[in-house]
Amino acid sequence: GIQVEQSPPDLILQEGANSTLRCNFSDSVNNLQWFHQNPWGQLINLFYIPSGTKQNGRLSATTVATERYSLLYISSSQTTDSGVYFCAAYNTDKLIFGTGTRLQVFP
């Protein structure tokens, strides 16, 4: 089956710093989503991005489907950005999650 890998596994930032999270997938996918899991476990949709670039405030994402990767950019990070970031890729009708990047932002 499809493999979805994320890097880095852990990231520690000071408030105000920028970061880039990467998601690689091993096979063609129908689509890709980015999620943020907050400390209470809730999964929040960030982007639904099969290709191209999208922006939402301080966050943006780019997917290059032909090269099988997606990037999530966080600019001017805040302590509330802390948590685990997942990418998930669709393979036919199933969403397969990556291993996640745990982000800690300190004041």
Partner 1 sequence: SQTIHQWPATLVQPVGSPLSLECTVEGTSNPNLYWYRQAAGRGLQLLFYSVGIGQISSEVPQNLSASRPQDRQFILSSKKLLLSDSGFYLCAWNRQGSGNTIYFGEGSWLTVV
- Chain residues in the site for partner 1 (CB under 8 A): 29-31, 33, 35, 37, 41-43, 45, 48, 50, 84, 86, 88, 90, 92-97, 99-100, 102
Do 47 and 61 contact (CB within 8 A), yes or no?
yes
Helix (H) or strand (E) holding 35: strand 32-37
Residue (26 or 50) nearer to partner 1, CB: 50
Residue (59 or 75) nearer to partner 1, CB: 59
Q: What φ, ψ does residue 19 adopt, rounded to 5°?
A: -150, 160
Cα–Cα distance measured from residue 100 to residue 46, given in angstroms and rounded to the nearest whole number: 14
Residue (7 or 75) nearer to partner 1, CB: 7
Work out how close the CB of 79 gets to partner 1 at its nearest, in angstroms, rounded to a whole number. Answer: 20
